[in-house]
Amino acid sequence: MRIPALAALGFILASGLPAFAQQSLSQRVEGVDQKVQPSSLRELSKRLMPAVVNISTQQTIAPNGLPTFPEGSPMERFNEFFGRDEDGFQRQGSLGSGFVISADGIIITNNHVIDNADEIEVNFSDGRVLEATLIGRDRDTDIAVLKVKSNTPLPFVDLADSDHAEVGDWVIAIGNPFGFGGSVSAGIISARNRDLNSGRSDDFIQTDAAINRGNSGGPLFNLGGEVVGVNTAIISPTGGSVGIGFSVPSNLVKRISQQLIEHGKVRRSWLGVNVQDADEALVKAYKAKGKGGVIITRITDDGPADKAKLEVGDLVLAFDGQAISSVREMTRLISDEPIGKTVPLSIIRDGKARTISVTLGELQDDEESAPANTLPDGPASSNDLGAELAAIDDDIRRRFGIPKDVDGVVVTGVSARGRSFGKLNRGDVIVEVNFNKVASVTDTVSRVETAMTTPQQPLLLRVKRRGDAGWFDQFLSIELTRK
């Protein structure tokens, strides 16, 4: 199963767009029930089609070192075969979908449709072709805003309040699938709040309306003719629609497009931390109540969290008065807050509840996400952790690549039958047991044995773990129930 971004495929239409009044095509029709299947989508489709566009892009690629055959040469035809002109340059094109949101020519599409384009053309349903300029784009949400100039007002549609869209509501998609411009498909909203792990702001609407390659950037309409989402991705083993498509919700599109229009980029608030999800067992290990939260695993030097004296290992339970149950939820809440706002964080540190106020900064584009975990591995062990432990010396540091500023006890193996299996990894460095630093194998085993006297309380380990971006902190809860 894969989640490809919708490819931009299609064809270009030809010219002539009549004048339109500066009035949205998304006028709600009195008596239309969004929850009832209509007898026909004919009139709605006809009304909305003029505001849906096909987008054509061209990109020039520099010579790649292959020879260019001269004019008149028997090999000249291979220049065209390799897609090159007489100077050796290649021209690559792509096509996708989009829609007009204002009479003066503001257009919404996907970032991947226009990414790296040198030229962008917008093709309307009646054939008129207009050159577009890029106003701004956001890679995280895959939204881009274009602008075209027209001598007459353009037909446009409105963005819906996607918070009112519910599972089971009827929707229609209009776009340019596989080059067949002006195609209409219908279905329902299958699910809300889907996370595809594609960005910080994942909150997709899932639909079974047929969405295929070339629908990228096209609108998903409700029965009132309002855009409830921007079609962006599909899950498909074949590359075609299997009834699982995803759209960026219109409320997120509103917020992103407004910033792109005003600033040319999206400005997001930033806390300056990496965090991990805390399950019920971890929360219990912190001697806190509840079933979720997040644990700070890394703090950016001189960032907002660093200035507020937050610490690695703090368990965050609430952000600005709102309970936090996951990393995804906290990321969204931070992004929704204005830059410079001071917000209270409810945390647990060393088993004690505290409230710390943080002034949010601005996220820069080069911020990295937390590195992924590696898989566990290892032989049997006889201690209560079920892990082979070793003191850190120069040989161990070279063997596992442990930095000089990392001290503790290294895990050299994990038993498949031990309590730590699936938690500790080979190469992890245990630095704390139940908030107490450890410096030797004896000290570590002793603290674990002490914790075994109260097996109803999970053991909390703080480890240093190596990831793609370097070493980072990870917090683990180990159940101590006898096996």
pLDDT in tens, 136-166: 999 889 999 999 999 999 999 999 999 999 9
pLDDT recorded at residue 414: 84
Name the active-site residue from 142, 314, 428, 473: 142
Alpha-carbon Rg for the chain in angstroms: 28
| Domains in the chain, CATH or no CATH each | 1-31+41-266 (2.40.10.120), 269-362 (2.30.42.10), 387-478 (2.30.42.10)
DSSP state letter for 420: T
Q: What are phi and psi of 172, to 5 degrees?
A: -130, 145
Q: Are residues 114 and 134 in contact, defined by beta-carbon separation less than 8 angstroms?
A: yes
Known catalytic residue at 377:
no
Name the active-site residue from 56, 183, 216, 269: 216
Question: 82 versus 471: which is more confidently predicted?
Answer: 471
Q: Is 328 left (phi over 0), alpha (psi -120 to 50) or beta?
A: alpha
Q: How far apart are CA 433 and CA 431, in angstroms?
A: 7
- Strand-pair category, 436-437 with 315-319: unpaired
Confidence check: pLDDT of 464 > 90: yes
Confidence check: pLDDT of 254 > 60: yes
Confidence of residue 419 (pLDDT cuts 50, 70, 90): confident
pLDDT recorded at residue 8: 37
What percent of the chain lies above the pLDDT cut of 90?
Answer: 43
Average pLDDT value over all residues in the chain: 81
Helices (H), 320-432: 327-336, 394-400
Beta strands in 151-288 (DSSP E): 170-175, 183-194, 204-207, 219-221, 227-234, 245-249, 269-270, 273-278
Q: Are residues 26 and 158 in contact, defined by beta-carbon separation less than 8 angstroms?
A: yes
pLDDT recorded at residue 200: 67
Residues 6+ apart with CB under 8 A from 338: 269, 360
- The string of DSSP letters for 30-45 reads TT--TTS--S--HHHH
Ranking 370-384, 385-399, 423-437 by mean pLDDT, the lowest is 370-384
Average pLDDT over every residue of 398-402:
87
Q: Is 422 annotated as a binding residue?
A: no
Q: Is 215 annotated as a binding residue?
A: yes
Known catalytic residue at 112:
yes
Confidence check: pLDDT of 377 > 60: no
Around Cβ 3, how many Cβ atoms within 10 Å?
A: 13
Q: Is 138 annotated as a binding residue?
A: no
Supply angle C-alpha 431, 436, 437, rounded to 5.
35
pLDDT recorded at residue 74: 55
Q: Are residues 149 and 120 in contact, defined by beta-carbon separation less than 8 angstroms?
A: no
Q: Convert the pLDDT of each residue in 191-243 to its tens digit.
A: 998 877 666 667 899 999 998 888 889 999 999 999 999 999 888 777 778 88
Q: Is 214 annotated as a binding residue?
A: yes
pLDDT recorded at residue 12: 29
Q: How far apart are CA 144 and CA 266, in angstroms?
A: 11
Confidence of residue 351 (pLDDT cuts 50, 70, 90): confident
Q: How far apart are CA 56 and CA 120, in angstroms?
A: 6
Q: Are residues 235 and 241 in contact, defined by beta-carbon separation less than 8 angstroms?
A: no
Confidence check: pLDDT of 79 > 70: no
Name the active-site residue from 94, 97, 112, 125: 112
Confidence check: pLDDT of 376 > 80: no
**Coil, strand, or helix at residue 190?**
strand
| Cα dist from 172 to 220, 226, 371, whole Å | 6, 10, 39
pLDDT recorded at residue 7: 38
pLDDT recorded at residue 235: 82
Confidence of residue 416 (pLDDT cuts 50, 70, 90): confident
